[in-house]
Structure 1
Amino acid sequence: MTTISNVCLIAAALLPIVCAGIAKKPGFGKRRRDGGYDNHDPRGWLARQQGVSARANAAQANGFEALPLFIAGVLAAQQQGAAQGSVDALALAFVATRIVYIACYLADQEKARSLVWVLGLGLSIALFFV
């Protein structure tokens, strides 16, 4: 059975990939020798980026780091028979916080970003106790 929280699992897994696209976008359409995206050394190319591209790459990494606890929380809540509406609400809130987190990261709003990160962490943990 497909639930809202299961769809949120997919959404949360795709958000870091969206961040990767944002990070790489300035390099698309340029030759590698002119600083364009280097698919031969994508991690090295990303490591040399600055500004929004560097922040989008960092948001990508953080998205992948936040994912295991969220996935475990959703699965644990469902396995324990938690009320699906509560699980869905927490999962939706988590995805919303990740979107806000990415926006804060891209806008270089470090204090808001950290606050939203803590909220997302709390939501992931709450899934284990719902």
Structure 2
Amino acid sequence: MTVAYWCVLIALFLPYLSTATAKAVSGGFSPRYNHDPRALLDNLSGLGRRANNAQLNSFEITPAFSAAVIIAHLAGGAEQTLLDKLAMAFVASRILYFIFYVADWATLRSLVWFVNIGLIISLFVVSA
């Protein structure tokens, strides 16, 4: 299995870092919230809300990244090392995205989001 494929696996679980953060800062690990955890997450504010928003964005972008990695592998037009580096850069940038989101650094967060999209596009372009 390639490094890029392992990055897909990591990306699939990154949203849960945000979920755990949102729940941790809001007391959401209490058994009383286990019956309807989404209701808790929908009503958060501040850091908890930003962490939940980072989770939602992660769930939105991960399918595109996963598809890009798979398509890049199938197309076979790029060196595997390059695909691996692009995939690792995506995972690293998603971690930065999470940090910037919870820190409320909106401009940096938005810039990193554009980097995320650029990396996904790059996976397609280098494999064309």
TM-score w.r.t. length of structure 1: 0.91
1:112 aligns with 2:113: no
- How many aligned residue pairs are there? 124
Cα pair 2:28 2:40 within 8 Å, conserved: no
Structure 1 equivalent of residue 70 of structure 2 = 75
Structure 1 SS opposite 2:50: helix
Q: What's 1:40 paired with?
A: 35
Q: Aligned partners of 1:72 and 1:63: how far apart in 2?
A: 14
Q: Once superposed, what is the RMSD of the aligned Cα atoms?
A: 1.3
Q: Which residue of 2 aligns with 1:18?
A: 17
Q: Flag the structure with higher helix content.
A: 2
Residue 124 of structure 2 aligns to a residue whose secondary structure is: coil
Taking the aligned partners of 1:58 and 1:31, their CA distance within structure 2 comes to 23
* Residue aligned with 1:59, SS: helix
Name the structure 2 match of 1:4.
3
Give the letter aligned to residue 10 of structure 2: A
Alpha-carbon distance in structure 1 between the residues aligned to 2:31 and 2:111 = 39
The share of aligned pairs that are identical, in percent, is 45
| Aligned AA (1:50) | S
Do the aligned partners of 1:69 and 1:125 also contact (CA within 8 Å) in 2? no
TM-score (norm 2): 0.92
Q: Cα–Cα, structure 1 residues 42 and 77, in superposed 2: closer, same or farther, change >3 Å? A: same
Partner of 1:127: 123
Q: Which runs of 4+ in 1 moved over 2 A?
A: 28-32
